[in-house]
Amino acid sequence: MANFDEVKHAKVGSAFKATGKLIRSPKEGQPFELQVCSAEAHMIKLLGAAPADKYPLPQKKHTREFLRTQAHLRCRTKLISAVARVRNNLAYATHKFFQERGFQYIHTPIITASDCEGAGEMLTVTTNLPGPGKPISSMKLLERAGQENEEEKGAEPKISKAYAKKLAKKNAAKAKKDGKPVEEGVAADAGATTEEAKAEAPAAEEEKKEEAPLIPLEERKVDYRSDFFKKPAYLSVSGQVHVETYCCGMGDVYTFGPTFRAEKSDTSRHLAEFWMIEPELAFAELFDVMDCAEDYVKYCLRYVMENNGDDIEYFNTMVDTGLKERLLNVTDKEFTRITYTDAIALLEQHLKEKKVKKFNEKPYWGIDMGSEHERYLAEKVFMGPVSVYDYPKDFKSFYMRQNDDGKTVQAFDMLVPGIGELIGGSAREERLDKLDELMVAKGLVLEDYWWYRDLRTYGTQPHGGFGLGFERLVMMATGIENIRDVIPFPRWWNKADF
Amino acid sequence: MANFDEVKHAKVGSAFKATGKLIRSPKEGQPFELQVCSAEAHMIKLLGAAPADKYPLPQKKHTREFLRTQAHLRCRTKLISAVARVRNNLAYATHKFFQERGFQYIHTPIITASDCEGAGEMLTVTTNLPGPGKPISSMKLLERAGQENEEEKGAEPKISKAYAKKLAKKNAAKAKKDGKPVEEGVAADAGATTEEAKAEAPAAEEEKKEEAPLIPLEERKVDYRSDFFKKPAYLSVSGQVHVETYCCGMGDVYTFGPTFRAEKSDTSRHLAEFWMIEPELAFAELFDVMDCAEDYVKYCLRYVMENNGDDIEYFNTMVDTGLKERLLNVTDKEFTRITYTDAIALLEQHLKEKKVKKFNEKPYWGIDMGSEHERYLAEKVFMGPVSVYDYPKDFKSFYMRQNDDGKTVQAFDMLVPGIGELIGGSAREERLDKLDELMVAKGLVLEDYWWYRDLRTYGTQPHGGFGLGFERLVMMATGIENIRDVIPFPRWWNKADF
């Protein structure tokens, strides 16, 4: 071969072009090799060398922390490329699963002006911030008293007076019956505020006609009217309420897109930017949704076990020797189902019988279970995935369907060994009066949700869905324990490198 | 049937549950019907009524403008649900196409701290803006002189002095040879600035030790060090530079995700949030990339013609009677390929021969072709899709591979009738010296692209890719002319409703 000299000194990280004969390797532990001989059609060419003294990833073991600083090169390692291949197939399996079942893939918006489920801190999207080097006096600010942003006007509850009073009365009556004080007084206040605002409105109108006084600089507010979307806008924390509109119009649907949380946490389990899958089933009840969630997880894991056999084998050897057994325990086993009430009773019983020494937080009915409880249930009690359902309504979202017991809602969490909560879902409250009741109790402004409420006003139907953090699924399928290693370019608090 | 009375007055927009026998309809123009008779297993139940006097979408023709104000209900119309079904299948076909060819789906980041291709105005992501109702004095601001944001420090060019000088020298020599002035003096300045900065650095350091004076409020700048990502962060305008890192590490890859532009335009062709598909082919040259782009478009359109036959028929009847013919003209025809130079010559010739009366802008070599030229080429000259390649380097991006003529780069645009530019792509410049040359000429700071340059330093290989705005593809497949009608919840300048 003419150019063997050129290529024989090339080091790891180099790129070649080679033409030859692919044969089964006679060497043990090496499946095949490319024979580049002196035949005319055969050749090997060095396309790009990698200077051995400078290449950041020479052939040795690197820590995952170090690899994160080389996010542009780390997919050249066996570990990170295997993660990428599994991630790819989990994504494709997701689409295959839902498409085969007739679900429509819907792109819900990333930028939203509504804090849809109050799921946490949001990142603001703006063109109003002065760039680096520019003073704040260059920002668009409200100059005079009486100028108003849309959002600020919206700060007063916008439900109708009559409706608020009716709800307040009902809540007060119920509270009296239960012997509890009126819950946060939200509904009772709402009516009053609207009343006051109405009384004040004409006076305010007249004042505006005169030239209002200038506001001192330090008291000025951002003029959101001049922002890109003319009002405060945020990155979506969930596509659920948006995808529900399509579910109520077209039937079974799902989302698969990025979601965001401005959580100031620096842990191995949280990202500021992550991908979520949110299916929504039309004409469905809680158990239909749970069936779908279980089938989906099984389908995805089976798909990668069949299509990423080598990668799974590698993870099982190098990352987590219990991986394959744990995966089979999910794909081949019936999922346990248990109500929240029974699950709490079980935890209490295990404590009493000293099967478990102690929990950091003692379990009791009404507690928002912590990771320790969830993992204990999945890992020690049931030794496999378990779906807990019918949770107390107090710490769950406003849109979940209320049970007749008056205490619980039709929510479920799927708990799996090694991960804890993998999926959260619910039947949605399709009855408008019940929905409003919970929204008001949770201090939400009905008017802000006018279009969500419309779904219950016009042709409402029982439906439900769930959400799965895609990175959790990748962690589960690979055994990788740090979420920063299962997404190509992780973003979290203080980190948006590359 | 017992409950026929309950359901017989229900109006459009209502939801039912019905069990019965599905039969071929004896009525003309109605493919099937559900027989709900009095048999025991048969039933019909009204789940949710829709008050006829209030329902926003009664059974009549609505304008598309009006439907946009009902984005939560408009998928209940035949038009918008058909769009959603076609969009769903175009998305699935995209995944199928690339998966069948061994491409890996990569999730590139949405939030980025680098303005990767300078493709336009960006939206800022922040937690630093005071919410509505809060004064600007509550923002985190730089208080004293000498405090510095990371980005501001980075404003001085960070290429090494020696390297900048070398490039400046080379550029000056070349300019002299060409008889042109030194291009914008970027490279020449870069060295000087770094030199000056270095000379001043020790003095600045000492000053900082004393208590620096307070900055007056109006001159204060935003303290990006306290922002969520500790520096200015933006919504990505393209995943290309990020996906290239995976292409150089793993082979063929693609992205499919949302991208953003803060363009203040209120047209039927632009959105602030839209979805993009960006494949990147390893060990590939320009024509390989063009082959892939052409195959991809054909595959997607064939897929919806086969799987959305009824919807396409509907669009062909109700929206655009030329649709089917135009689609067949793409799926069944060889795409024309022509160099930019030849395309311009053709336009000039057509003008001269009076085949075309006039263009708003006269075509000449060096012009960045406008929509009028692109559509004329596709619609009048070639009457079908045409890929134009080898564009002048001056108005193309820094990462495109330079041709030996010194004037053009290996970029291509795919132009299609009715749409204009559907796809833009290029072979990437894999030679580090050539890449640096173009970056410096375009005024970019090399150091900001250190990790992108690393791909050319370690095992570089010829590769290339393209980008397709997904909504353009949906418009093409449906004949819908306004981009706001092919995405569920459109966002544009001043609009982020729902």
Cβ separation A491–B105 shorter than 8 A: no
Which range among A112-116, A284-288, B228-232 has the greatest average pLDDT?
A: A284-288
Averaged pLDDT score across all residues of chain B: 88
Say yes or no: B307 contacts chain A, CB-CB below 8 A.
no
- DSSP tag of A396: S
CA–CA separation, B246 vs B106, rounded Å? Answer: 8
Cβ separation A458–B51 shorter than 8 A: yes
Cα nearest neighbour of B492 on chain A = A229
Q: Which residue has the higher pLDDT, B288 or A188?
A: B288
Cβ separation A110–B114 shorter than 8 A: no
* pLDDT, mean of residues B143-150: 82
Pairing outcome for strands B253-260 and B273-281: antiparallel
Kindly report which listed range (A136-150, A245-259, A361-375) carries the lowest average pLDDT score: A136-150
Say yes or no: A495 contacts chain B, CB-CB below 8 A.
yes
What's residue B186's pLDDT?
A: 39
Q: B433-439 — which CB contacts under 8 Å span 24+ positions? A: B434/B401, B434/B402, B435/B398, B435/B399, B436/B163, B436/B167, B437/B167, B437/B170, B437/B171, B438/B393, B438/B398, B438/B399, B438/B400, B438/B402, B439/B398
Q: Which helix (H) or strand (E) holds A22?
A: strand A21-24
Say yes or no: A180 contacts chain B, CB-CB below 8 A.
no
Joined together, the tokens standing for residue B458 give 């370690």
Q: Which residue has the higher pLDDT, B267 or B248?
A: B248
Which A residues, 2 through 41, put their C-beta within 8 Å of a C-beta on chain B? 13-15, 17
Cβ separation B127–A127 shorter than 8 A: no
Cα nearest neighbour of B121 on chain A = A127
Joined together, the tokens standing for residue A42 give 């055969």
Q: Which residue has the higher pLDDT, A3 or B263?
A: B263
What's residue A425's pLDDT?
A: 98
Say yes or no: B47 contacts chain A, CB-CB below 8 A.
yes
Kindly report which listed range (A94-98, A204-208, A256-260, A285-289) carries the lowest average pLDDT score: A204-208
List, in sequence order, the alpha helices (H) in A124-239: 150-153, 161-178, 186-209
What's residue B8's pLDDT?
A: 84
Kindly report which listed range (A30-44, A246-260, B229-243) carries the lowest average pLDDT score: A30-44
Sequence-distant (6+) residues with CB within 8 A of A208 are A146
What's residue A44's pLDDT?
A: 87
Of A47, A133, A273, the CB nearest to B461: A47
Q: Is the pLDDT assigned to residue A198 strictly greater than 70?
A: no
Cβ separation A488–B220 shorter than 8 A: no
CA–CA separation, A163 vs A167, rounded Å? Answer: 6
Joined together, the tokens standing for residue B318 give 């109700």
Say yes or no: A449 contacts chain B, CB-CB below 8 A.
no
Which A residues, 453 through 492, put their C-beta within 8 Å of a C-beta on chain B? 454-462, 487-489, 491
* pLDDT, mean of residues A157-184: 56
Cα nearest neighbour of B264 on chain A = A228
Cβ separation A496–B113 shorter than 8 A: yes
Sequence-distant (6+) residues with CB within 8 A of B487 are A107, B87, B271, B274, B275, B471, B474
Query: Which ipTM was obtained for this model?
Result: 0.89
Say yes or no: A136 contacts chain B, CB-CB below 8 A.
yes
Q: Is the pLDDT assigned to residue A115 strictly greater than 70?
A: no
Say yes or no: A45 contacts chain B, CB-CB below 8 A.
no
Interface contacts (A, B; CB < 8 Å): 325
Contacts of A260 in chain B (CB under 8 A): 110-111
pLDDT above 90: percentage of residues in chain A: 72
Of B220, B233, B452, the CB nearest to A136: B220
Question: Which amino acid makes up residue B427?
Answer: A
* pLDDT, mean of residues A481-491: 98
A367 Cα to chain B: minimum distance (Å): 31
Q: Is B418 exposed, middle or buried (0-12, 13-18, 19+ CB in 10 A)?
A: middle
Cβ separation B217–A14 shorter than 8 A: no
Count the neighbouring beta carbons within 10 Å of the beta carbon of residue A189: 15
Cα B327-B333-B335 angle, rounded to 5 deg: 105
- DSSP tag of B137: G
CA–CA separation, B198 vs B160, rounded Å? Answer: 12
pLDDT (tens digit per residue) in B23-67:
999 888 888 998 887 666 678 889 999 998 899 999 889 999 999
- At residue A57, φ and ψ (nearest 5 deg) are -125, 60
CA–CA separation, A349 vs A9, rounded Å? Answer: 68
Cβ separation A452–B72 shorter than 8 A: yes
pLDDT (tens digit per residue) in A332-383:
999 999 999 999 999 999 999 999 999 999 999 999 999 999 999 999 999 9
Cβ separation B221–A133 shorter than 8 A: yes
Of B72, B128, B488, the CB nearest to A454: B72
Say yes or no: B213 contacts chain A, CB-CB below 8 A.
no
- DSSP tag of B334: P
Say yes or no: B102 contacts chain A, CB-CB below 8 A.
no
Q: Is the pLDDT assigned to residue A205 strictly greater than 80?
A: no
Of A310, A314, A369, A436, the C-alpha closest to A32 is A310
Count the neighbouring beta carbons within 10 Å of the beta carbon of residue B428: 29
Q: Are B110 and B223 a contacting pair, CB within 8 Å?
A: no
Joined together, the tokens standing for residue B308 give 């959305």
- Look at the block and give the residue holding tokens 């490319």: A34
Roughly how many angstroms between the first and final C-alpha of chain B, as a whole number? 41
DSSP B108-128: --SEESS--S--S---EEES-
* pLDDT, mean of residues A205-219: 75
Say yes or no: A86 contacts chain B, CB-CB below 8 A.
no
* pLDDT, mean of residues A25-31: 88
Q: How far is CA A247 from CA A210, A370, A465, B84, B258, in A?
A: 50, 32, 10, 12, 22
Q: How far is CA B156 from CA A133, B186, B191, B448, B474, in A?
A: 12, 12, 10, 11, 43
Q: Is the dihedral of CA B152, B153, B156, B157 positive or negative?
A: negative
What's residue B43's pLDDT?
A: 83
Joined together, the tokens standing for residue B485 give 């009608």
Q: Confidence class of residue A147 from pLDDT cuts 50, 70 and 90? A: confident
Q: How far is CA A152 from CA A129, A142, B127, B133, in A?
A: 19, 12, 18, 6
pLDDT above 90: percentage of residues in chain B: 72
Contacts of A250 in chain B (CB under 8 A): 75-76, 81, 84-85
Cα nearest neighbour of A218 on chain B = B137
Q: Which helix (H) or strand (E) holds A399?
A: none
pLDDT (tens digit per residue) in B61-112:
999 999 999 999 999 999 999 999 999 999 999 999 999 999 999 999 999 9
Cβ separation A126–B129 shorter than 8 A: yes
Cβ separation A99–B92 shorter than 8 A: yes
Cβ separation B459–A135 shorter than 8 A: no
Q: How far is CA A268 from CA A484, A486, A498, B26, B91, in A?
A: 7, 11, 19, 63, 32
Cβ separation B152–A133 shorter than 8 A: yes
What's residue B398's pLDDT?
A: 95
Joined together, the tokens standing for residue A470 give 């895609």
Kindly state the greatest CA–CA separation across chain B.
95
Question: Which amino acid makes up residue B400?
Answer: M
